[in-house]
Every structure is written in C-alpha cells, then in structure tokens.
Chain A
Amino acid sequence: MTRAPHEGTVGPEAPSRVPAVSRAVAVLSEIAVHGPASLANLGRRLGLPKSSLLGICQTLVEERLLVQDPQGRYVLGLAVAELAAAQLRHPPKLARLGVAVPNTSNPFYVVELRALAEASAEIGAEIVALDSGQDIDVQIGQIGELVNMRVDAIVLDAVHSTKVAGAVRLARSADIPVIAVNVGAEGADVSVTTDNVQAGQLVGHHLAGLLGGRGEVAIVDGEPVTATADRVAGFMSALREHPGVNVVARERGDHSPQTGRSIARRMLAQHPRVAGFFGINDPTSTGIIEALGERGISVPVVSVDGSAAAASAIAAGGSLKASAAQDPAQLAHLAFRLAAQLRAGERLVTQTRLLPTRLVTEANVADYQPWG
C-alpha cells in the first residue's frame, strides 16, 4: 500500500512564508480542539510568545473569527460558522482516492500510479494505492478494504473485467464512484481505456503488411479483460482484409514475459511455420522474443503498449516490429478528473472514454516519446 498523506497541519514551528497566517490557523485549531483559552494559555500550548500572539488574536477578533468571553478568554467566533457553511456548499471534493492495480512489476501500472499520485498531490488529496499481485480474489478483497476506508472514489485497473463486478457493486452501493481505467470493469460508473480495438487493428494491418499478406500467425492473449478482448477483436478484424494471413494459435497468458515465453515455446513447437506473433502487451512480447531467440528464429512480433523497453527494441531492429502506443499517464489523468467530477455529483456525458493510440514502428520510433 502506498499513501500520500496531505493532512494540512501547520504547527507554529513549521517554516512558513507568512508565519502570522500559519500561527493564526494554529490558534483557531487549538481553540477548536481544546476550547476557550487565554493569551497565556495559547502562548504556552503553541510555544509562542504572547507578544507575537496578541496582534494575531486581536486581528482574528476584529474579523469575528474569535471573540473574547467575559473571562477574557478567546473562543471561536461565528464567522467560523459562516466560512464552514460556505465551504460545505462546495460540491464534495475528492479528498481520498482509492486505487487498485493488478501489479506494480509492469511499468505501465507504475506510470499509471505515479500520474494518479501527482494529480492527487496537485489538489491536496490523499491516495491509497493497492497492488493485488495479479490475483482477482485479492483485488476483490482490496476493493472491500477501500470501501471500508470510505475513500471518495476508486480508480480500478481490474485484473478481471467481470469477476470484479460484485466488488464494484459493493463500492457503488456505498456511494463510492468507480472509474475503470485501462480495462473495463463491469458495473463501473465510467471506463477510461485506450482505444484497444484501434490498437489491435493497427498492429494487425502492420503485421499483415510485413508478411506480404500471407502466412500463419499466433496470438499470445492475456487475462480476460476488455482491453485484451478489444485488442484481439481489432487484430482479427484487420486480418479479414488480409485473407492470406491465418491465425493458427491463440492462448491466454498473464501479461508477463514469463508466460509470454512459455506460451510462445509451445506454439513454436506445435506450429513450426508460424511467421508472425501478436503479443497482447509489451512484457508478453518480450517473452515471445526470448522464445524465438532460444530457437534461433527471427519472425516479426507486434505488440501493444509503446513502453520505453519496446521502443528501444523496435529501434534496435530486432523481432519486435511495432507496438501500438498507450499513454498510461494520460489514462490516469483522465480517470482522476472523472473521479473528481463524479465525487462532485456531476453527471457524465458518456460511460466510455477511449483514448486514441498510435503505431510505433522502426520508421517513426525516433520521434516517439515512450513512457516507463
């Protein structure tokens, strides 16, 4: 779990650009918590000289934020209620954001988390981020934890798009909006993903072109989430325009280089004439390329993600020929904005937001700024 606490405690000793204002906040907070106080009491409790506090307290009295009781002690003034009432009229602000990601070994999720943390810090919100180790049952439990913590919204990068539905319902029944990011999640208020159909289409057309419109290809698929389904659907859709290219093998992995490698090994053993691979993401494609290397084979591999590692591999001229780029930071920023809007009670125009992708190839990789 990572936390970015924002509690805005300003102690009288904290360095401040405007010490009098910090001390005024400390005075109000002190009286709010511990009740009426004389100047001497305040000085002792806050560790400040009476001479310094007097001007501050008298100014707060003139502004009706403090009043003096018949004993001369300072108590909160009714202007505090006026300000609090005005503050409460604002739409609820996103103060604590829950985030659930499949893992933190994939740089994609690391960049996604970093962007969410940065966006939270900008508005002074706390972030509670949980890594499920690619285990859907763990992730379901973690969403329950976030609900119990009464976070203001949950940004969910789901391990499984449908198995997570019950946990999403639980959150929404507790009036906690759920924003699915990167992959869809059944029942979420809104999903923010890359246009994964477009990504699949781009790499499908590119691979078919590299093969001259003929050959056997294999797909190392991923976990059953909407993003992978969309990519594969887009890939297959593109191949319909290239009838000479046939998919001869398709198997699900867990998005890691390890399963990418082991699945590709099996595929190569069973289908020695495979002329090209589609890896569901860059880590999977890394594993496929390792399996090809073990056999001393060089066939084109296409992928989705556009990570820094993939960009380097494409630039090096190896088997990886293209990757349809996602932008995890942009996905995260949009998810965060939608979380804030939902928290404020705004109605969203659409429940699906697709961010466009671009194909990174040897021809344009020099101009591409990768993430991760």
Chain B
Amino acid sequence: MIEISESVTPGRSPAVRKAARILFELAAHHEAASFGELSRRLAMPKSSLADICGVLLEAGVLARDIDGRMQLGGRLSEIARGLVGGTPLLELFHAAVPHAEELAGRTVALAVLSGLDAAYLSVRPGERPLPLTLKPGIRLPAWSTGTGRALLSTLPDPVIREMHTDAPPLSPSGQLFDMERLIEAVGLARARGFASNADLGEMALAGTAAVVYGRGGPLAAVGSIVDITSADAGSDAEAVRALARHLSESLRREPASPSEA
C-alpha cells in the first residue's frame, strides 16, 4: 500500500481534516465500514483513526451499526437543520418523498436560496438519468431553475431586480440572463402557486417547484425535475404543490427550534 502524505496548510487542523475525510469516505460508500476497512481505504493508522472515530462516536456524528461497524450518525442531520432554519425539513423531505406517488420515478429536490443561487440540499434521484446529475451540495443560478424561481417569487420584484443588477451568475448551459423574463416568470409563479423553468430549456431540463413555508416564512422549495421531453407541467405542478403543502404542514406540527424562537 502506498501512503500518500497529506499536505497540510500551516495553521490548519490535521485532526479535523482527518475527521472530515472519514465522514466523506463513509458518505461516498453509502454503507457502514469497520475500523480495518476505513484504515485501509483512508491509509490512516488504526490508532489515529480509533481516536478520531471515538470522539465522533461520542458526539453522535458517527454511529455503530448492529455489527459494530461505523456509519454516519444522526448528529449530522441535527447539524444540517441549521441550513433550513433550525427545522427538521431535511428529515421530513426524506421521509415524505417516497410517499408522493404522483412523483414516483421523478427526480425530486429540496433547495434553499443562497445568495443568487438555488443550493440543493437533498435530491431523490429519479428512475431515468437526467442530462445533469443533481446532487446535494450543487448550486445553480436561482434565475435559471424551477426551485430557484419559486424561492425568488417570495421576494418583492424590486429586491429581485437589485439582487441581479450586478453580474447575474452564468447559466451552466450558457443561457443568457434576461431580467424581464425572470420578473415575468416569478410573477407567474406567485399567481399559480408554482414555478417552472421549462421556458428556458436549461440543460434540457424542466423543473416545477413550489415553496415550503416554515413558521417564519418561506424556507425552501421542492421541485420535480425531468428531461424537457418528459415534462407534464399540469400533473407535476399539482404533485409538487401537494408535497410542499405537506411539508409546510408537517413543519407547523413540529416544536419550535431555538433558532426559530
């Protein structure tokens, strides 16, 4: 086995970097791993691995499965609540999407507004591969996506205009930003209760999205994404709106989090 030494930027924490590598390794493989497997895959000495895993286990960032192997722990979902206003929206989305029968086979995504971007937090992949692999962590210009347009529709037009005055982000497929077209699209979204980007043909995808509301107002958007030839705006819109309503109602039933209070 060849050990590749890590270059550590001075002033950084090698232990924190190792902890992150452990977490990303487990995330990439979708399954639990023993100390031995992790040590081999990460080329990390067992003693160092055991110390770091011990701390992560105590913190609940890692957990043991029934056979004693390491897997990602529930504390990660608790921390991720900070991305959605301190609410359990990610968990609720994960639990609800498999029951959304009208969206069976569709790619379904949950996104929040991050500056001028739609930042995707969770994605349930569909049965058919899309021209673009949507995954948690990807950011796309809000103006060019269904979820982004749904989120922008919660803002007043002057705010949207101001946000996009200086250098709007480029679309991955090279679509040109058009302010008036965006304002028209978000106006339509407000009127219909759902947003769409089918008119853009961005990446040959059609997204249909609706806003999820928390106690404090708009929190995120859920969207169905299909390749543009499979788009069925009517049925997708109703299904996505139903999912957004369900998630909003579920959030209202949850106890208020410290960050919501």
Taking beta carbons and an 8 Å cutoff, which residues of A are in contact with B? 6-10, 16-18, 20-22, 24-25, 28-29, 31-35, 54-56, 58-60, 62-65, 76, 78-90, 93-95, 122-124, 337, 340-341
Contacts and interface: CB of A to CB of B under 8 A. Distances in A.
Interface of B: 9, 11-13, 15-17, 19-20, 23-24, 26-28, 30, 32, 51-52, 54-61, 63-66, 68, 71-83, 86, 90-91, 94, 114, 119-123, 135-137, 139, 257-259
A32 B64 contact: no
Given A21-B55, A25-B75, A62-B12, A86 B68 contact: no
Contacts of B71: 87, 90, 93
B121 A90 contact: no
Contacts of A25: 55-56, 59, 61, 75
Given A32-B80, A33-B82, A35-B259, A122 B139 contact: no
B66 A20 contact: no
B4 to A, nearest CB: 17
B95 to A, nearest CB: 9
A201 B73 CA distance: 47
Contact of A83 (B64, B66, B76): B76
8 contacts: A29-B75, A32-B259, A59-B20, A80-B79, A83-B27, A84-B122, A93-B71, A341-B66
Contacts of B136: 78, 81-82, 84-85
Given A80-B80, A81-B83, A84-B79, A24 B19 contact: yes
A54 B57 CA distance: 24
Contacts of B120: 81
A80 B82 CA distance: 9
Given A8-B73, A80-B83, A124-B64, A86 B16 contact: no
Given A78-B137, A81-B137, A20 B63 contact: no
Nearest to B122: A85
Contact of B80 (A17, A21, A84): A84
Contact of A80 (B26, B60, B76): B76
A86 B27 contact: yes
A86 B90 contact: no
Nearest to B79: A32
Contacts of A76: 79-80, 82-83
B33 to A, nearest CB: 12
B15 to A, nearest CB: 4
A18 B15 CA distance: 7
B28 to A, nearest CB: 8
Nearest to A54: B11
A-B CB proximity, top 4 nearest: A8-B60, A32-B82, A84-B80, A86-B27
Contacts of B27: 82-83, 86-87
B77 A84 contact: yes
A22 B90 contact: no
A123 B114 CA distance: 36
A123 B65 CA distance: 6
Contact of B60 (A21, A124, A340): A124
Contacts of A59: 12-13, 16-17, 20
A55 B74 contact: no
B139 A60 contact: no
Nearest to B12: A59
A56 B63 contact: no
B74 A17 contact: no
A19 B241 CA distance: 46
A335 to B, nearest CB: 12
Nearest to A51: B11
B137 A340 contact: no
Nearest to A81: B121
B73 A60 contact: no
Nearest to A337: B66
A18 B55 contact: yes
B66 A17 contact: no
Contacts of A32: 78-82, 86, 259
A88 B78 CA distance: 11
A196 B76 CA distance: 45
